[in-house]
Amino acid sequence: MPVLAIIGAQWGDEGKGKIVDLLAENAHVVARYQGGANAGHEVVVGGESFILHLVPSGILHPGKINIIGNGVVLDPESFEAEVNGLRKRGVKVDGCLFVSDRAHLTLALHKQLDAAREGASEGKKIGSTKRGISPTYMDKAGRVGLRPADLNDADYCKSIIAANLYEKNILFKELYGVKPLSAASVFAEVKRHFAAVKPFLADTTGMIHKFLAQGKNILLEGAQGTLLDIDHGSYPYVTASNATAGGAASGTGLGPTQIGRVIGVCKAYTTRVGEGPFPTEFDAKKSHIVRELGGEYGRTTGRARRCGWLDMVALKHAVMVNGLTELAITKLDVLDTMAEIEICVAYKIGNKTMTRFPASVSELDRAKPVTKKFKGWLSSTKKARSLKQLPTNARTYLKAIEALAGVPVGIVSVGADRTETIFVNKKARDYSF
């Protein structure tokens, strides 16, 4: 099947935008399948940076079909701003971008609830971006959400919003001490911004299956990462959706057997944003060094990312739950100046040594990394365009990752630009399996 899924194999921010952009060259369709405007996928073309929150990363390739799938939660206000921003920069969106009429809508009430809950957490913050993502998914699961298809019936929309606010306004006033919202104002806002969404609406599931029947190459783009997956991540410090390969199927309307290849994107080290356990985290000094070398600041929130060594316990967990067929290693160049590099191969938790990723957040919080050390290469990798052009110690490091993960490395990124990439073999770009 000519369907390829791109999955984040860590705590997000792995560089999925660049990898999707690269592989979009040979794709006909690029479909985003989960998450919302909390994503921040950066694509650098000719030194020019584009930050994409909802629009798929294939939009910068003319002639590609870009789809926002049913598994995405769509903020109409953010979508309108992003589309207008792309138009102003000369990027074509009309006729090549489509939004599922089954996606769920993020409303003002969701954003206000998200901010109120995170602000009242008192030391128990999850690390939300406050974009209303979790409350939108909560309403989706609670069967009180709104979808684009519903907006054709104004009376139905108003009744759903009013019923939704009956409960949330009590929380706003009595628990969080914020101003209640009126159903009329929420409806007016979504209607105003929805005018910019409506021209892009389509039965995207039907579209994808039509393209599949025609033998077109389809690229599925995930947001966040495996360790933020609602089921398989470091719960409760996770996102509200399935960022793993299972979400790629449900979030587009494809069957699992129709996905032929799953690439896990992974930094040559590890980062995470916000709260939660992080066993391989550096001390403050080394974190600062790597953060500045790698530009490790959130593309959506601007928050500084926490940095640490590559965590193979977590990566092997990602290989397992996603059924990864290969890895794309990004930001290898950030390690160019390090004399010694470590990989975490196990956790020490009390008297136990563990090589599986624990379900218990308290266990993960107590985990101490057991590491294997490697010599650094102390030379620039940014001009390498083949494995042979990499320093010997860099190749040794990549081979170790392959051996420990149990899957091959197909792509290596040595810089932010499209051109700063190594394709290990010709199959790395291929959609035939």
Tokens of 31: 């479909």
Q: Do the beta carbons of residue 387 and residue 262 sit within 8 Å?
A: no
Beta bridge partners of 385: none
Q: Which of 248, 264, 307, 320 is nearest to 35 (CA)?
A: 248
Report d(CA 183, CA 154) in Å as an integer.
12
Question: Which entry of 13, 75, 114, 229 is annotated as an active-site residue?
Answer: 13
**First-to-last CA distance in the chain?**
7
Cβ-in-10-Å burial (0-12, 13-18, 19+) of 41 comes to: buried
Report d(CA 342, CA 269) in Å as an integer.
9
Asked whether the CA dihedral 255, 256, 258, 264 is positive or negative, the reply is positive
- Would you call 155 a catalytic residue per the annotation? no
Question: Which entry of 28, 41, 104, 110 is annotated as an active-site residue?
Answer: 41
Report d(CA 8, CA 28) in Å as an integer.
22
- Would you call 41 a catalytic residue per the annotation? yes
Active site residues: 13, 41
